[in-house]
Amino acid sequence: MEKIKLGISTCLLGENVRYDGGHKLDRFLTDTLGQYVEYVPVCPEVECGLPIPREAMHLEGDPDSPRLVTIRTKQDMTDRLVQWARKHVADLEKEDLCGFIFKSDSPSSGMERVKVYNEKGMPVKKGVGMFAKIFMDHFPLLPVEEEGRLHDPGLRENFVERIFTLKRWREVLGKKESRGNVVDFHTRHKLLILSHSSKHYQIMGKLVAKAKDLPLKELYQKYQTLLMESLYLKTSPKKNANVLQHLMGYFKDQLSSDEKKELLEVIDHYRQEYIPLIVPITLIQHYVRKYDQPYLKQQVYLNPHPLELQLRNHV
């Protein structure tokens, strides 16, 4: 797979673009995820023409439509940043991004819970950075996250799973449009979708089953929306345990009674959060090889992102 293109707040890459001339280098993003990703850096404040260093800014007024104002001299930068951002998100369409990682708490780049100050100078953490809001409105289905939230193992796994899946879907979009390609993609991703949402699993199954009755464009569009919606929903030990048992059903007749007992035990220990997901997955991968299960070998659920990222190693 070629590298996944992701937008990122420039300061997270270690560039000295912050108001104080500093940066916010995040080593997981550069050194670990960076091995699989090509970053497209965006610093809204510098790219809209503000200098480094510059006066610090914050959001003021109505949390739903705040103004971006410098803190000391009260210069209103809203129009300047909004005009630049509207043009820039249109330019970013060419980049074919699979997601964006924003710098948390920034009045320009923060994705959520950014401080917005009222006329008395009291903050409420209800704002969205000015550029981040325009970006997310323009690309509503793209996976987005903040560097701070990516330190949470569950959120990290969810985000990485989404960007890798979107990349695989973009590869389908790069081929000639055909119902067969959508069906093939769905067949490989079925259990991954089930691990996020049984409701989407059913709806998407029905959509693919009646693929012949739909115009191709509509099929692609509906499938893509449902895919991104489903993966946005978090997995849980209960949902994963359900998928693991589903997987076991494919070779339960071939397993010896000892193997069955051991696998059920491991799944149960995972469900109770004593062991990480990688343990039952590794055991199932072993049986998939041992009992030669071609359908399961192609299931992305067993291998949705590089093992080296260790995203399924947490409890």
Q: Report if residue 104 touches ligand SF4, rule: CB under 6 A.
A: no
- Least distance in angstroms from the C-beta of 150 to ligand SF4: 15
9 binds ligand SF4 (CB under 6 A): yes
Verify binding: residue 10, ligand SF4, rule CB under 6 A: yes
Residue with smaller CB distance to ligand SF4, 11 or 267: 11
Q: How many residues sit close enough to ligand SF4 to count as binding (CB under 6 A)? A: 13
Q: Which tokens hold the place of 20?
A: 């104080």
Please, which of residues 21-80 interact with ligand SF4 by CB under 6 A? 43-46
Q: d(Cα 115, Cα 148) in Å, to the nearest integer?
A: 16
**Cβ-based neighbours of 148, under 8 Å, separated by 6 or more:** 104, 105
Q: Which of 13, 18, 37, 267 binds ligand SF4 (CB under 6 A)?
A: 18
Nearer to ligand SF4, 58 or 162 (CB): 58
- The continuous run of DSSP H or E covering 149 comes out as none
With beta carbons less than 8 A apart as the criterion, state whether 278 and 312 touch: yes
User: In terms of C-beta density within 10 A (0-12 exposed, 13-18 middle, 19 or more buried), how is residue 146 classed?
Assistant: buried
Answer for the pair 97, 132: CB distance below 8 angstroms, yes or no: no
**Closest listed residue to residue 203, CA positions, set 186, 216, 188:** 186
One of 4, 6, 11, 68 touching ligand SF4 (CB under 6 A)? 11
Select the span of 59-67, 103-111, 200-208, 233-241 touching ligand SF4 (CB under 6 A): 103-111
CA angle 199, 155, 314 (to 5 degrees): 105
106 contacts ligand SF4 (rule: CB under 6 A): yes
Restricted to residues 183-222, the positions that interact with ligand SF4 (CB under 6 A) are none
Interface residues toward ligand SF4, by CB under 6 A? 9-11, 17-18, 43-46, 103, 106, 108-109
